[in-house]
Structure formats: structure tokens, C-alpha cells
Structure 1
């Protein structure tokens, strides 16, 4: 089928669904988005597809689409993409940033679409394997009280033996209850099905992680929850995952091959930050008890199987320990003075210090020590892999002993991620900047633990775009990236740079405006304070006074967004009794409970105000009366104190750039647009936004921020008169 025919078929399916579904109507913006999705995927040449040539392997088609609130983007991308996948015999992979959107897609949008489409399709939710239980490890911990000592608790190898009796009993009761529920069918082995999310320290020892899994060699493989879910994924034509899983599984077989599927990345504005977190590394170079345990377990296994390897595990472990201790000593000598001074001033009190290597350049002695760490960690990893391979072969040859040997494998594997983290961290810490390129960000954290410091080493790529270009886009043939906020200050330039797509000839951008009439439905009031935000104390005092005056006028639902916890604390402290009864504060109760209380108050006609921080500025859906007023206490500039941001600003300045205008302002513009997006959620909503930061109207960069916001009716209000007690 030709490219034009494929696009026409996909768009026809979208139009048929819109016309046949009660409550839906044709929207110009949604139609334009669906057309772009159809055109993009029609141009995609998948690996192995008829007509593909060698030249196709380096080409791809990617659409970056900003779809304003109310466009209906999930239908606009899902209907044409799924129709095209069915026509071409391939699959659709949708990756989101939040659990709430995943649940909406899997439980609402995709079932409705499957019922409306002319051709049926199957879909499934993909999760990381750590979300599922390992039945073999659970069996061990639920049936044998001594199992808490056999190495399935990775956080502190010495901790289980030192636990109080009541804590050990609580652990045992937890695992016994899970095992009983699993056996009775009350629970299927999915962590997310548990009524109360378990403590990570309790869940980690029973998670079905790859390092502890012998796969098809496990005696419980036939009933494994994780592998049952994988079968569903193999059969599904549409798979919903998250950004983390998308990036972490590149090259693995969990998700569809990116060169042979249609990829949709929703909530795409999160992707660059997720990439930085995904490709960053860190390691503990102080607490090394795990290393001895890992070696002893590996040697115990090696004594029972025949291993083909020249690596001396005991010697490699000992050499790695010495190298890590040398690195720790050098870090303390080089960067530990502030921590020692803090510990001396306040003995026994917690203290911490962070030191970043300027320009990503480590002192030569520290680089030499880390080179030794890298070498010995690599040797030990090689030895462990040989032992693991031999153990798997032995399990296959001796199925009667598979249960015991699989449990040994799990004990060794539980500590293997620490060794891999050491190897990866040392490698990135030693990485030199490419010619003309950005160096990695490198830093160390030191914290007091009794009389001795605990030292951690960290490294991260500096540019998310470079990491995404190397790891993701090089594998992708066809993709659509979408979100309500992908432009910054009115253009796509910042996002394209951050996402690694700015110089990509295969990229097309489209901005689809919201169907809402913002000028009619809402107002944006810039309420001035005399003090500038950089005068923190005076600004906060004046802002809180103006905020309290405005809150007294609230008659329905309202949301107040703060830029810091301290700012929110001061506002809470100054609430008069009449307002204290209507304010709900983030963190004082669980999020779902807080939102339920807010909805209940508004439903009975009472005023209700939510005080929230950054996490309430995005993804929070409060339509209609639930948010008739949105208060923004201060422009949401991120504090410039994160090591990666500091290192990037340093590199930009050295390259002749302006970090504030090139990084800070564009990032703030996207964050502010997300915040403002909480106000108008439907075509029937009416709301006002009040911002207390006068920089929005009275600075050049403020006007750039304003340019990226919806076209509210704009008003300005003067500063309130200063009063004294």
C-alpha cells in the first residue's frame, strides 16, 4: 500500500470513530493532529518491511506535536496509529510519564477505541519486572524464619541479624500473608494490586528482578507472574509503558523492537529529564560489607559447579575493596573539610556536604584510583557472569536440585546491581569530554554517620539530548512525541534541543491550539508586590498578605501553587482561623484523601483551597468549580543548585552562552504553562489566575514567559499598601 493510501486509511478510521461515537464532535485541532500522526507513520519504513532499502536504516520520521488542553490528543494519536499498525502487521508502543495517564489509557481510552474500531485489537500494560513478585524468593521467606539471614535483604547486609525480634516477626507475618493470598488467588503477584503499597525494604527482597532470576530454569517458571504478563505483551498489538521502562529496555526484548513498531511518547516534556536520571550513575564508596558477602556467596556457588573462567573472584574482590578505600580516602582529603568542620561544630548531629568537580575534571590521583576501581570491578563482574552461567547450566542438568540452586543464584544476584553500579559509575567518572562536546557532570556527597563520613560518587551526562540521540533516536524508525506543553516562549527550539532532535532532518513540528476561548473563559491578573522576589523575606511577607486577602474572597474551589516548602509553611502559619478551616495542605494527608475532601467540600457548596507544590502544578485535573481560582505565588524558577544544572551552566558560560536565557527561562516557561494549565480544563470552565510576581509583566524575560501562556484576558493590580503591626 502506498504512503498516501496508508495515511488516508488511518485518517478515515479516526474520522469514522469521531462521527460514530456519541458525545464526540469534529474539532479542527484534533483533526490536524490525527492527520500529522497518519502522515508521519505512513512515511515510516520499518525494519524488514517490503520496500525497505539499506538507506532506510538510518532514516526515520518523527513528529513533535504540542496539543493544547482539550484537543483530545489520545484519540488523535491512538486511532490512526493503531489502524496503520493493523494494516502493516506491526505494533504500537505508547510511553507515558505518569501512572494516571497509563491507567486512563488502559482502563478507559483503549477499551473504548477497541469497541469503536472496525477491526479488533489487543492491548496490555507493560511494567518493570520489579513490580512483580518472585514466587521462589517469597516461598523461601514465608516458609523459613532463618531466610532473613540468607542475603535477600540488599540495603544493609548486616542489618537483618541485628533486627529486633518484633521487626523480624513483622517481616515474617508480611511474607506469610502475601504467600497465603497468592496461594488462595486473592492476589496475583502484582505489587500495584496490593491495597497498601508495601515498604520498599519489605518488597525489594521478593521483587522479580533480573539479577536474581534464572528464567526458564527456575522451578516455578511455569507459574511466574512476571513471565505470564510477558506472554500478554507478546500477544498485544498495543503496549502501554512508561518513559523509564522505554529507556531502560532499549536493546532488550521486553518491549517491541523500536525499529519495527510505531512509537508514541505522551507527556513528552518529561522525556529529557527522565533521560538524565536514566543514564546517570552513583555508587557508595564507604560501606563495603556487601562486597565481601558477594564474593563469599559467589565462591560458595562456584564450589558446587564447574566454572570456566580464569578470574580469581576472591582476589578481584579484595583488590576492588582496596581501590574503593583509596578512592574514599582521596575524596575525603580533597573535599571533606566542610563536613569535618560541621561535625566538629555539632558533634552527633547530621551533617552533609556536596562537592562538584569543576569542568568535569577530576584530580589525577583520584582518577588513578577510580581507574583501579573500574579495572577490578570489571574483572569481578566477568567472574560473576561465568559463575552465573555455570549455575544456570547446572540447574538445567540437575532439575531435582533446581529449587536450592535457584535460591543460591538469587542470593548472589541480590548484590550484583551494586557491583554493576560501581563499574558504570567509575566508567562515567573517568569519561573525558568529546572534542568540542560537553563533559559529564561529576560530584561527590559526604554525610556524617556516627564518627565517620559516608561518601557517594555521582556522574551524569550533561546534555539529555545527546544521550537520547545516542540511545533512543538511533533505534527509532517512526515516532510521535506529544504533550500540552512542548513549546517554550512560543517556539519548539528548547524542547528540540533537550530531546536531541534539533538537528534531525526527519523531524516535523506541529502546534495545535486548545479549543478553549481563554480570553472569554478566564483572566490572568498580575498582582504586584513592592519587593522583588530576590528579597525573599520582604517578598514572601507581602505576597502572603495579598494572598490571604484574596483567599477571603474564594467562594468555591481554588488552588495555590508555591515554589518552596518554606514559602508554603509561612503562608500556612499566617492563616487566620476562618481560612484555616477551608485550606487543605499538601503533605498533611495522602494526596487521594486530600483531593477527595476538596471535591466533597466543593460539591456541597463550601469553599475549599488546596495549598500545593510543584507536583500539584502538573497532571492535577480540577475541572469546573473545583478550581475557579488559581494562585501562583512566584514564577516557578527551579533553584539553580542541582549539580547537573550547575555543571551545564558552567559549560555554557565557558562556551560563550547565557545559561539564564538558554536554560532557565525556557524551562520556567514550560513549567509555568503547566501550572497555568490547571485553571481551564473544559470548554465550560471559567477561572481566574492570579500571579504575585511582578517580573511577569515588568521584565523582558517575563514577557517571554507570558508569550508562551494561553491568551487570557490580562489585568494588572497594584501592590497592596505596607502595614505595620
Structure 2
């Protein structure tokens, strides 16, 4: 495929035009919209076996309407258009949005960004859907998968570590201390061989530096020392810039009309411009129900209060880097680091005492893990001084790092012969900068107070012989973040998923996504073409024990489940709400059923599904035990999943700090979090879980739920209204 339309570079695409663009005429909008619909119809007519579905056609029309009407580029008062579309399983939503979106991008001489939440959907788009569209659409287009910088190798780092194995790198210091001398030498040799092999693959053209294209993906800790990072990159001043896999991928993005990315990269790029400017692009957000959670994760922050060895080495690193290039460090970093470490150590000690007091444990007891959330987002006065000190000192240290980094780049610019040394020294600073940055951002959030509180908490975790204490801060309303940072830039966008409604309404998602009440938003629900009443049934098996009595309920539910497993003939899926619940069921499996059960966590997800598929194909029963991650995105058509057993209504853990903080805030302003948040969120998860049963128009399956609240409570019946129209057997 070749790019037949000249497009500006990513950088110039993000620039503001000197003069406002004229608004599109009604005739232009109509032409663009017509082109989008025609592209979809052409794909349908040219694809063998494609069935024309009215719902899919309705979705394509709304996509074309939406992406044709938004004003791209510089406008005094731009018109914005956003469509929120729930498309049930089997609708074929990727064709319904991709065909018109690509046609509109070509007609409007811009790009379309398709952002997903999962790797599986990205692979489907890149390997199946987009190649098929390229064969069907008359005008050629180029498409590219955009990845974060950290998915690519830094050639400069690889050159350095290929000879040493990173055995002396600070990143592995904590790990090395837990190993014997012999084990350390063995690990150093293993890493050296790994990096030498990677360097050989690069040098011989067998690998382009993309981590995902390695035959054997490296351990994340090994990869971390050679991964490309913004903090360690001098960009064009780097001597390996022309060969850099990340910037080669960026150049490919600039030549593509269709860019596939994930939600994390999309939100992270809002400030870094790693993707084209959203005000001058079309946007499709598939798997859109994930967007609010991704937003909270993107804007949260945490700092490690316990592992401070890196900080001890920071002054030496900075002064040595400056000295090698004849530069000066702008501040007394030895004093700064000494004061910063003292403040962090003091905060860590007080934090540990608070967490142990809260959990009823002490430093001599077992199981030191625990979480302490601060009510109403207010830090105790005893912590304020230390946190304020951390903010002030870390900010000064961060400024000194930035100044030194700027000076290093200036040296590389003035004297290209020093470019290699400058890049290497800049990378040394880059190992410190993100850690200092997390201290600054977290301390600032911990001290922030406004009308809407933040979730703030301390967490103690033990593992590998170490106890780690971290401090966390996170906003609690994703809609506010998305309104401020995403929708303020977007002009034409489509948000779609199979699960955007809850209890029969879009309101919950619209509120969470920051779109409720916005006049530019239009919603559409496209029903699945499946005949759920004919193809499946929903059974609710009531227990005597109340689900609120967890121990008694689990015992009774497990007993009923074991009885039901006896009747499984082919494939089945059991979804649990907790590891403890799943373990209780596992321990109760009778001997003659042990061989048919596959449990999440025993093997990788891929291997579990392969084993399950083979067993069913060979004519034997097979039952998958899984948690929330198995309740979404698992595609097991036909005999692979003839029954979905739901152990309990999938309420989220009540101890999640962010959920707790949000509920607390809603109560304080007179709102009811259970009905406003908990029930709608559970309704979405239940819709996802029941959606594992019917995957094609030929499937016959049943859903068995052991939680009587689904039919015996008002909120359960609300959730029931939002589920597919299964034949109900209570």
C-alpha cells in the first residue's frame, strides 16, 4: 500500500495554522458523509459471506454523519460532533466504523486514529480488518500501529550493555543483594548473552528493535535497561538517531492515514504529541467502556518511600556527568539529596507506623501488607511537613536535572564530535529524572486540596524478602479529566463498544466519560443480530444463604456448582468474583472431575485456551475457572462455551481506595454511591460476563447465575433489564 495523499509531518500537523480555517459548506459535509456511507456499502457488497444487517448500516451512517460534521483545524468556535454507539456482539462494528472513517479521512485529507483497549483488538485490526478494507476500498491508504516509546530498544543503551550484561547497573542492585555471589555471576552472564543476541539481531537486520517482534519476549526487568525512554533520549543529537527504531516508527506514522493505538498512548500523547493533533484528526475509540478507568490511571501518581539507593548515587552521577563535559551543576545537589532522603525516610517511618496501626500489625508480625486511605483526601497534620519538604526539595533537584540536561544538548549541538558522549551522559541523568519526577508529582497531588478531593493512600507490600512502602494520589472523577484534557481537543469522534449501557441506559457511561449533557453528543444502541431468547437461557439458582454472608454463601454456591459441573458435556466457563472464591471451588472439585478443570493462573492465558480448545475438539468436557479478566474479551464460540456459570454478581472490591474515596465524596454532597456508581458498574460487568455465552448466530448456550439478588432485588432487576433477552428460568 502506498500513500497517495501528501500529508504534513506529525509535528506540522500538530501546529496551529496562522489563520482560522473556513468552515465546511453544507455541500461539502453532505459529500463527505455520502462518501463514508458508500465506502461501507462497497465493503459489504465486495466481501464474500457478508450479511447485510440494518443495525450495522445504521451505525455506519451515524459514523459518517459524525466524522463529516466536526470542524478540523483552527476555528474560532469549532463545531464538535461525538457519537456514542453500543453495538452488540455480532454487529460487525469494526467494519461499520473503519470503512466510513477511512473514507472520510481520505476525503478530508487528514488522518483517523483508532484507539483500542486491548492488544487482541489491535491485532485483529492490523492483521485482518484493515488489510481486508485495503482490498475493498478504491483509494489506497497506509495504516500503522502506534506504540509507546518503551516498546522499542534504545540502540545507544544496547551498545553499552551488550558488553556488560548490565551487571553493574543500579536498576538490578536490589535484586542482586538477594542473590549469592554465584547466582549474581550467573544472572550477569545470562543478561550479557541476551543483550549480545539482541545487538546481533539488530546488526544483521533480523530485528527492527520492536520488543513485540522478538521471538522470545525478554523479561520486563531485562528490557527496562535497554528500552527507549523520553528521559534518556537526546533525539537528533544522538549518534544513533538515524537508525533509531522508535523514530523510524514515528516517520511511518507521518506517512499513514490510519493509525491504530491504545487508549493509554492516546491520553499520554496529549502533551507529548506522540500522535497527530486531535483537533485536526478523526478519532474512533473502540472498547470505549475502558476509557474512564484508563483516564484515572493516566492521571494518578505514586512514589516509593523505601528503595532510596538510587537517590544516594544521584549527586555523584550528576557531578560526574557535568565534569566530563566541562559543565556545572546549578545547585548543591549533595545537600539537596541529603535533605530529600531525610524527608523521605521520616515519611516512610511514619507511614509504616500508620499502616501497621490501621491493620493491627507490627514490625515483628507476619503479613505486613496493608493499605491506609486518608478520609476525605486529607493528610494527617503529622505528615504535612515531610510531604511539603519532599515537594520543595524534589522540585529543586528536578530543576537542576533539567538545566544540566539542557546544557548537555547545547554541547552536542555546538560540537557534533561530542554527540556520542553527550547522549551517553544524558542517558545517565535519564535514570534519575523519572524517579525525581514521581516524587514531585505525587507530593504535589498529596498536598492538593479543592472542592473535589483526591484519593490518597499509603500501601505496604512485601515480596522477595523486601517490604515496600508507597504513597499514592489519584483523582476520583474520570469525566472531569476527560472533559479537560481529551474532549476539549477532539472535534469529530466515535466511541463504541458492546457494553456502553448499564441497566438499559447510556447515562452511567456518559457521566463517567465526561459526555453527559453535552449537546454535541449523539447516542445509538445497535442490538445484536442474535436471537437470545431462542439461542440461550438464563437460569438463576437461588441459595439459602445470603450473598452478604460470604462464607456460608460460598459453601452453598460451590456445592451447587459441583453438581452442575457433572452435566458439562463440552466447553464451559466459570467466572468468580475473587481468588478466594475460586480457590474454594477448586478445593471442592471431586477426583473424577479434576482432569476437566483448567484454572486461571496455572498457565498463561494462551496455553489455557489452547488446552481447552484441544480438549473440546477431541470430544471431552473442559471447564475454565477464571476471574474478571476472563469475563471480558474471551471469544469461545460454539462448543467451546456452552455454559457460563456466574458464581456471584460481579460487584467490585469494596476496599479499592479510589472507589472508597469517590463513594465517601458522593455521600458528603448528598448523593447515593450505591445506586449511582456501584449498581451501574456492576451492570456493565454482568453484561460483559453474560456476553461470553452467545458468540455466533448458530450458538446454543445458557448462563447460570447462583446469586438470587439478580431476580429478588430491585437493583438486580435493573441489571437484568440491561442484559440480552435470554429466556429467563428463575
Q: Identify the TM-score tier after normalising by the shorter chain.
A: over 0.9
Deviates more, 1:415-424 or 1:313-322: 313-322
2:710 aligned to 676, 696, 699, which one? 696
**Alignment partner, residue 377 of structure 1:** 394
SS in 1 for 2:296: helix
The yes-or-no answer on 1:42 pairing with 2:42 is no
Pair 341,572 (structure 1): closer, same or farther in 2 beyond 3 Å? closer
1:8 aligned to 34, 37, 41, which one? 34
Compute the displacement of 1:167 (Å). 1.5
The yes-or-no answer on 1:183 pairing with 2:203 is yes
Residues 570 and 640, structure 2, Cα contact 8 Å, conserved in 1 = yes
Pair 447,553 (structure 1): closer, same or farther in 2 beyond 3 Å? closer
Residues 10 and 83, structure 1, Cα contact 8 Å, conserved in 2 = yes
**Alignment partner, residue 360 of structure 1:** 377
**Alignment partner, residue 719 of structure 1:** none
Compute the displacement of 1:556 (Å). 1.3
Deviations 1:314-347 (A, max 9, x none): 3333332233234334434555435684333x3x
**Alignment partner, residue 149 of structure 1:** 168
Deviates more, 1:129-138 or 1:350-359: 350-359
Pair 487,235 (structure 1): closer, same or farther in 2 beyond 3 Å? same
Deviations 1:393-422 (A, max 9, x none): 222333333333322221220121110000
Partners of 1:572 and 1:396 lie apart in 2 by 63
**Alignment partner, residue 722 of structure 1:** none
SS in 2 for 1:216: helix
Partners of 1:67 and 1:705 lie apart in 2 by 18
Residues 330 and 403, structure 2, Cα contact 8 Å, conserved in 1 = no
Compute the displacement of 1:47 (Å). 1.1
Partners of 2:76 and 2:684 lie apart in 1 by 39
Deviates more, 1:103-112 or 1:158-167: 158-167
Compute the displacement of 1:159 (Å). 8.0
SS in 1 for 2:716: helix
The yes-or-no answer on 1:169 pairing with 2:186 is no
1:569 aligned to 565, 576, 583, which one? 583
Partners of 2:176 and 2:320 lie apart in 1 by 17
Partners of 1:420 and 1:539 lie apart in 2 by 47
**Alignment partner, residue 720 of structure 1:** none
Deviates more, 1:114-123 or 1:151-160: 151-160
**Alignment partner, residue 109 of structure 1:** 129
**Alignment partner, residue 9 of structure 2:** none
Partners of 2:602 and 2:355 lie apart in 1 by 38
SS in 1 for 2:538: strand
**Alignment partner, residue 553 of structure 2:** 539
Q: TM-score, normalised by structure 1?
A: 0.93
Pair 480,128 (structure 1): closer, same or farther in 2 beyond 3 Å? same
Partners of 2:177 and 2:464 lie apart in 1 by 17
Residues 247 and 275, structure 1, Cα contact 8 Å, conserved in 2 = yes
Partners of 1:324 and 1:612 lie apart in 2 by 40
Partners of 1:306 and 1:472 lie apart in 2 by 43
Deviates more, 1:36-45 or 1:405-414: 405-414
Compute the displacement of 1:310 (Å). 4.4
Residues 142 and 255, structure 2, Cα contact 8 Å, conserved in 1 = yes
Residue correspondence of structure 1 range 246-325 to structure 2 within 5 A? 246-305=266-325, 307=327, 310-325=330-345
The yes-or-no answer on 1:650 pairing with 2:664 is yes
SS in 2 for 1:343: coil
Residues 322 and 329, structure 2, Cα contact 8 Å, conserved in 1 = no
Partners of 2:357 and 2:510 lie apart in 1 by 42
Pair 306,472 (structure 1): closer, same or farther in 2 beyond 3 Å? farther
Pair 303,181 (structure 1): closer, same or farther in 2 beyond 3 Å? same
The yes-or-no answer on 1:232 pairing with 2:258 is no
**Alignment partner, residue 108 of structure 2:** 88
Pair 44,309 (structure 1): closer, same or farther in 2 beyond 3 Å? farther
Partners of 2:164 and 2:355 lie apart in 1 by 46
**Alignment partner, residue 31 of structure 1:** 57
SS in 1 for 2:370: strand
SS in 1 for 2:294: helix
**Alignment partner, residue 77 of structure 2:** 55
Compute the displacement of 1:152 (Å). 5.8
Residues 7 and 39, structure 1, Cα contact 8 Å, conserved in 2 = yes
Structure 1: gaps (5+ residues): 717-725
Residues 157 and 289, structure 1, Cα contact 8 Å, conserved in 2 = no
Partners of 1:642 and 1:177 lie apart in 2 by 43
Deviations 1:95-116 (A, max 9, x none): 0000000000011100100110
**Alignment partner, residue 403 of structure 1:** 420
The yes-or-no answer on 1:711 pairing with 2:729 is no
Partners of 1:231 and 1:138 lie apart in 2 by 22
Deviations 1:417-464 (A, max 9, x none): 110000000111111123xxx211111123569999643110000111
Partners of 1:259 and 1:135 lie apart in 2 by 34
SS in 1 for 2:77: helix
**Alignment partner, residue 699 of structure 2:** 685
1:422 aligned to 431, 435, 439, which one? 439
SS in 2 for 1:581: helix
Deviations 1:324-381 (A, max 9, x none): 234334434555435684333x3xx441222111101112342232222112111111
Partners of 1:158 and 1:593 lie apart in 2 by 34
Residues 356 and 362, structure 2, Cα contact 8 Å, conserved in 1 = no
Structure 2: gaps (5+ residues): 1-26
Residue correspondence of structure 1 range 620-639 to structure 2 within 5 A? 620-639=634-653
**Alignment partner, residue 721 of structure 1:** none
Deviations 1:533-560 (A, max 9, x none): 1122221222122112211111111111
SS in 2 for 1:711: coil
Pair 41,690 (structure 1): closer, same or farther in 2 beyond 3 Å? same
**Alignment partner, residue 138 of structure 1:** 158
**Alignment partner, residue 559 of structure 1:** 573
Pair 156,472 (structure 1): closer, same or farther in 2 beyond 3 Å? farther
**Alignment partner, residue 327 of structure 1:** 347
The yes-or-no answer on 1:69 pairing with 2:89 is yes
**Alignment partner, residue 672 of structure 1:** 686
Partners of 1:110 and 1:557 lie apart in 2 by 32
The yes-or-no answer on 1:508 pairing with 2:522 is yes
Deviates more, 1:350-359 or 1:61-70: 350-359
**Alignment partner, residue 596 of structure 2:** 582
Deviations 1:491-550 (A, max 9, x none): 011111111111322111111111111111111111111111112222122212211221
Residues 305 and 390, structure 1, Cα contact 8 Å, conserved in 2 = no
Partners of 1:91 and 1:419 lie apart in 2 by 36
Residues 153 and 205, structure 1, Cα contact 8 Å, conserved in 2 = no
Q: TM-score, normalised by structure 2?
A: 0.93
Partners of 1:656 and 1:154 lie apart in 2 by 51
Pair 410,506 (structure 1): closer, same or farther in 2 beyond 3 Å? same
Deviations 1:96-144 (A, max 9, x none): 0000000000111001001100111000000111111111111111124
| Count of residue pairs the alignment pairs up | 703
